[in-house]
Structure 1
Amino acid sequence: MNPVSRTVATPFAKGHGCANSFIVLPDPHGRLRLTADTVRSLTDPHTGAGADGILRAVHCAAAPEAATMAGHAEWFMDYRNADGSVGGMCGNGIRVLARYLVDTGRCEPGAFAIATRAGIRHVDVPDRSDDLRGPVTVAMGVPEFPGPDRITVTTSGGESRWPATHVDVGNPHAVVFVDDLADAGDLSIAPTVEPAGAYPFGVTIEFAAVRGADHLALRVHERGVGETRACGTGACAAVAAHRRHTGQTDPADYRVDLPGGTLYVSVTADGAMTLTGPAIITTMGVIRLARTQGRRQPRKACPVR
């Protein structure tokens, strides 16, 4: 018998990391029909809940793209940008999802794994029963510099053009260093990136100003969204580009200021990064979404690293 779809009441939550906002949809058995149109409708600030993206939480065993990771993590983060496109990784999003899983009793506080399209990521949600707004940490891995090396970014108005560094943190970034963050201009419109084929699936662009040896400030145009108040993978990408430009190889801790708040990036001797910052659930409610009816999947315990 073919699966039957119907519209049913579905729980949801809304949260943010440094004002980078997300809708969380718990879908443990993988029954939600999350189309691009549905994502755009839900994230619209006027006709939906309003958010920069959607985090669908699915048991790995129920998500075809995460089935091979089921032995290492219980939950898979199915991340969607506000325009409906699929994302591989989201540094603020995964911390918000981790907070949600702990706040709702789906995972115990402490360290556990979450699967993403970029692979397994380990998160740490401190056991602070009296502080649901405390920081959450995620191990981001080692950023890559896949090239090409000669990337240029031009402001949407065409007034300024800069060289950029291509950094991959589970998703693609182009990092530009500027003297003044205002030089980025209007980031509601995507800057132009060349060569045109460098980012076939789009790119998130960081405009970074150096405030000190271990202190950066950013503005971000996030692919599929526009200018966002913060970007976790963008903070890591900017730190990686800064270290490459300065030749820094020693372990270090960095502060990254964004319009929505401050994130902290720690780098080990081998280049691996952790990202720490606030992750706050602000709203919980119920919406109606199309859901496929089928057999339930068994629940597993959260693996720890």
Structure 2
Amino acid sequence: MTHELPRPAAHPFFKGHGAENDFVLLPDPGHRLTLTSEDVQRLCDRRRGIGADGLLRAVRTTADPEASAMARAAEWFMDYRNPDGARAAMCGNGIRLFARYLVDTGLALPGTLAIATRAGIRKVRVPSRAPDFQGPVTVLMGRPRLPGPNHIKVEVGRRRWPALHVDMGNPHAVVIVGDLAHAGDLRTPPAVTPANAYPHGVTVTFAVIRSARHLQLRVHERGVGETRACGTGACAAVAALLHAGGRGGAGDGRYTADLPGGRLHIAVAADGAMALTGPAAIVAEGTVNLTPAGAPRPWRKATCAAGR
């Protein structure tokens, strides 16, 4: 006889991107989903799942113990996961898309939103919905930190460069190069030494200086591979540019970062605080079948012989 296994719950999802850095967003206001690293890997896989550079779970701060301490300052918590399933603190493009989702779905009004992240509260400015649904969104990224370690080196093939460690809520090793082709294919992580400098991995940003306020970048994001754009990487590269110019992390002005997926703008205040602006768009929505634990699974029928 034929038995139908319990059908996995159809859970809503949204798909979007910031400068072609793409994400799956799962609404989970009541903190009902339990996502393992394997679940995230399947959802982000471009053949087995929906496909993305990362996953964003939208949960109310009052419902999630990890974010409850920030509930007075922010209504929503961005639970960001890399496609390898690891939890991450911040994502500049991801948080701009997260804010765009809140506004486009009516969960927040246009203007300045406070969003909780593992790196703390971030303020995001979302204008009224643009006619093309891709109006620019700005996130106040705070001040970059240059905490060391010093003497970081990045190696690709036979080339080796000094790198600057910049903390934007997540770790970056920024390399100034003469030609972005020298970064190689970036299918595998560039070698970073000393080996114990980044026990949890590091995002490596390769930057070519086009002018005093213009950078061109390629980024190998930890747990992801090469991404079409990286918001924290763009900010880290500007911090490295300012540092190379002898200004520490401070400078007053507007900088441009061009990445394979598009252009990002970084405004630097006199105290070094950075604001990142760029496109953010929801491009699709639908439902994905999830088991109670959160994993994407197809609906199957099981057949067994009577009497066994």
Normalised TM-score (structure 1) = 0.92
Aligned to 2:288: 287
Residue by residue over 1:16-46, the C-alpha shift from the partner in whole angstroms, topping out at 9 and shown as x without a partner, is 0111000000000111111111111011111
Superposition misfits of 4+ residues, deviation over 6 angstroms: none
Match of 2:50 in 1: 49
Cα deviation 1:80-123 (Å, max 9, x = unaligned) = 00111111000000000100111111111111100000000000
What is the CA distance between 1:6 and its match in structure 2? 8.7
Question: How far apart, in 2, do the equivalents of 1:185 and 1:89 lie?
Answer: 26
Q: CA deviation at 1:290?
A: 3.2
Query: Which one-letter code corresponds to 1:171 in the other structure?
Result: N
CA distance in 2, matches of 1:167, 1:256: 16
- The whole-number CA distance in structure 1 between the counterparts of 2:52 and 2:239 is 27
Larger radius of gyration: 2
Counterpart residue identity of residue 84, structure 2? D
Distance of 2:66 and 2:7 partners within structure 1: 24
For residues 32 and 67 of structure 1, the distance between their equivalents in structure 2, rounded to whole angstroms, comes to 17
Mapped pair 1:85 → 2:69: no
1:296 counterpart residue number: none
Name the residue aligned to 1:252: 253
- Aligned partner of 1:167 in structure 2 is 166
Counterpart of 2:107 in structure 1: which amino acid? R
Does the CA contact (< 8 Å) of 1:31 and 1:291 recur in 2? no
Cα distance in 1 for residues equivalent to 2:159 and 2:276: 31
Is the CA contact 2:104–2:129 (under 8 Å) kept in the aligned structure 1? no
What is aligned with 2:301? none
Q: CA deviation at 1:291?
A: 3.8
Q: Is 1:71 aligned to 2:109, yes or no?
A: no
Partners of 2:7 and 2:98 lie apart in 1 by 26
5 Å-filtered alignment, 1:260-299, equals 260-291=261-292
The percent of aligned pairs where both chains have the same amino acid is: 61
Query: What is the match of residue 24 of structure 1?
Result: 25
Q: Distance in 1 between matches of 2:204 and 2:130?
A: 37
1:197 aligns with 2:196: yes
Specify the alignment match of 2:219 in structure 1: 220
Q: Deviations over 1:205-264 (max 9, x none)?
A: 000000000000000000000001000000000000110110234301000000000000
One-letter amino acid matched to 1:284 = E
Unaligned residue ranges in structure 2 (runs of 5+): 1-5, 295-308
CA apart distance, 1:47: 1.1
Could you say what secondary structure the match of 1:197 adopts? coil
Listed one character per residue, the Cα deviations across residues 133-153 of structure 1 (whole Å, up to 9, x for unaligned) are: 100000000000110111000
Shift of 1:129: 5.0
Q: Which residue of 1 aligns with 2:236?
A: 237
Q: What corresponds to 1:99 in structure 2? A: 100
Describe the superposition over 1:138-175 as per-residue Cα deviations: whole angstroms up to 9, x where unpaired. Answer: 000000011011100011xx321110000000000000
Residue 299 of structure 1: aligned partner? none
For the aligned residue pairs, the C-alpha RMSD in angstroms reads 1.5
Aligned residue for 2:95, secondary structure, equals helix
The amino acid that maps onto 1:251 is D
- Classify the secondary structure of the residue corresponding to 2:40: helix
Q: Which one-letter code corresponds to 2:228 in the other structure? A: R
SS at match of 1:146: coil
| Residues 60, 115 of structure 1: 8 Å contact kept | yes
CA 1:266–1:129: 2 relative to 1, 3 Å = closer
Question: Which residue of the partner structure matches residue 3 of structure 2?
Answer: none
